[in-house]
C-alpha cells in the first residue's frame, strides 16, 4: 500500500514538474517598437519609445510643429541614444546630456525627462528660423556640441518617429511587448494629462477614454498622437488594449501590430488596463 501511494505521489510530482518546465520554457517575445514611414523603418527599444513619445506629446502640448519633435528626437539619439542616463562627459546628464554647470538646471531637474524635454524646447524656440534650418544645424545651436555634424545621421529615423508619434502616419507606430501585470487606468489617465496638457480623459473602472473635438483632420492627427503615445508607454503603464478610428492594438497580440476593429470610434481614443 505504501509503495502504491509512493508511486502515485511520484507520478503527480513528475507531472507537476513537467507542467512547470513547459510553462517556464514558454518563449518570450523580443521587445521593441517600430515606426514605419515610407521607406524608413525606425526601430527602438521600449525605453527609447517611452521618451520619444513624451517628446512628441510635450511638443503637441506646446503647439510646436512635428519638425520640432524631429529635432528633439535626433538630438537625443545622438546625445544619449534616447536613454535617461545618469552619466556623461563631465557633468552631462539625461536624455540631452544637459550640463548643470552650464545653466541647464540642477542634476535632479535634468534627470527629470519632462523638465529636460521642456528645457530643450525652450532653447529650440529661441533659435531664429529653426523650422527652416537643417535639423543638425538647429540641434547644434541648442546643444553647442563638439561634434556639430553628428546629429545628421539620425535624421531619417527621427523623422519617421516624429511623423508617427505626432499622429501624421496612422497605425505606423507599434510596439511588441511581453505580457505584464495590469496597470492602473487612473495612473494612465494622469500620465496622459501630464504629457498632453489638461485633456479631458474619462475613467470608468479599468477603461479610459479621451473624446476629441474639432475639425476632422486635426482630430485624426491628435487622436493618433495619443493612441501611439499609449502604445509607446504600454509596457511602462500596463496598458492592455488601445483603440481608435477602426483600429486596435492589443498587448497580448502586440506582435500583430494594429488590427482592424470596426466597432471603434473615429473621435474617441479608448484604452484598458485589465
Average pLDDT of the residues in 68-80: 97
Residue 159 lies in a domain: yes
Residue 85 lies in a domain: yes
pLDDT at 113: 98
Q: Are 269 and 210 in contact (CB under 8 A)?
A: yes
Residue 10 lies in a domain: no
DSSP track, 15-40: HHHHHHHHHHTPPPPPPEEEEEETTE
Q: What is the pLDDT of residues 116-151, one digit of tens each?
A: 999 999 999 999 999 999 999 999 999 988 777 899
Based on the domain organization, do 243 and 208 belong to the same domain?
Answer: yes
Query: What is the span of the domain harbouring residue 115?
Result: 33-165
CA distance 207 to 261: 17
Please give the grid coordinates belonging to residue 249.
492594438
Residue 8 lies in a domain: no
**First-last CA distance in the chain:** 49
Those residues with Cβ within 8 angstroms of residue 118's Cβ, 6 or more apart along the chain or in another chain: 58
Domain-ending residue, one of 139, 165, 191: 165
pTM score, whole prediction: 0.89
Based on the domain organization, do 157 and 67 belong to the same domain?
Answer: yes
Based on the domain organization, do 192 and 126 belong to the same domain?
Answer: no
Based on the domain organization, do 157 and 186 belong to the same domain?
Answer: no
Based on the domain organization, do 221 and 259 belong to the same domain?
Answer: yes
For the chain, percent of residues with pLDDT exceeding 70: 90
Crossing angle of helices 216-232 and 185-196, rounded to 10°: 120
- Per-residue DSSP letter, 147: -
DSSP track, 216-268: HHHHHHHHHHHHHHHHHTHHHHT--EEEETTEEEEGGGGGG-SEE-TTS-SSE
CA distance 82 to 45: 9
pLDDT at 145: 80
Based on the domain organization, do 160 and 186 belong to the same domain?
Answer: no
Based on the domain organization, do 160 and 187 belong to the same domain?
Answer: no
Q: Is the pLDDT of residue 272 over 70?
A: yes
CA distance 168 to 80: 26
Residue 48 lies in a domain: yes
Based on the domain organization, do 55 and 160 belong to the same domain?
Answer: yes
Based on the domain organization, do 119 and 204 belong to the same domain?
Answer: no
pLDDT at 27: 58
Based on the domain organization, do 77 and 156 belong to the same domain?
Answer: yes
Based on the domain organization, do 101 and 129 belong to the same domain?
Answer: yes
Q: What is the pLDDT of residues 164-175, one digit of tens each?
A: 999 999 999 999
Based on the domain organization, do 161 and 226 belong to the same domain?
Answer: no
Residue 17 lies in a domain: no
Domain-ending residue, one of 133, 165, 197: 165
What total number of domains does the chain contain?
2
Residue 171 lies in a domain: no
Amino acid at each position: 500500500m505504501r509503495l502504491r501511494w509512493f508511486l502515485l505521489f511520484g507520478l503527480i510530482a513528475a507531472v507537476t514538474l513537467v507542467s512547470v518546465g513547459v510553462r517556464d520554457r514558454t518563449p518570450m517575445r523580443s521587445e521593441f517598437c517600430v515606426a514605419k514611414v515610407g521607406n524608413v523603418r525606425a526601430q527602438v527599444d521600449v525605453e527609447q519609445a517611452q521618451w520619444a513619445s513624451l517628446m512628441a506629446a510635450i511638443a503637441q502640448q506646446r503647439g510646436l510643429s512635428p519638425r520640432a519633435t524631429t529635432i528633439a528626437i535626433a538630438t537625443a539619439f545622438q546625445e544619449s541614444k534616447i536613454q535617461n542616463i545618469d552619466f556623461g562627459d563631465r557633468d552631462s546628464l539625461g536624455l540631452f546630456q544637459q550640463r548643470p554647470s552650464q545653466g541647464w538646471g540642477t542634476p535632479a531637474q535634468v534627470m527629470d525627462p519632462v523638465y529636460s524635454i521642456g528645457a530643450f524646447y525652450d532653447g529650440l524656440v529661441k533659435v531664429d528660423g529653426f523650422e527652416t534650418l537643417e535639423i543638425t544645424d538647429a540641434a547644434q545651436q541648442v546643444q553647442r556640441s563638439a561634434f556639430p555634424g553628428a546629429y545628421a545621421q539620425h535624421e531619417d529615423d527621427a523623422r519617421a518617429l516624429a511623423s508617427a508619434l505626432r499622429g501624421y502616419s496612422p497605425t505606423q507606430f507599434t510596439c511588441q511587448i511581453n505580457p505584464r501585470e495590469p496597470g492602473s487606468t487612473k495612473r494612465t489617465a494622469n500620465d496622459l494629462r501630464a504629457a498632453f496638457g489638461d485633456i479631458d480623459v474619462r475613467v470608468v473602472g479599468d477603461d479610459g477614454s479621451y473624446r476629441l473635438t474639432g475639425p476632422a483632420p486635426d482630430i485624426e492627427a491628435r487622436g493618433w498622437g495619443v493612441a501611439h503615445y499609449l502604445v509607446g508607454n504600454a509596457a511602462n503603464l500596463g496598458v492592455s488594449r488601445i483603440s481608435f478610428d477602426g483600429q486596435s492594438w492589443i498587448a497580448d497580440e502586440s506582435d500583430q501590430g494594429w488590427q482592424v476593429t470596426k466597432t471603434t470610434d473615429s473621435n474617441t481614443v479608448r484604452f484598458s488596463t485589465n
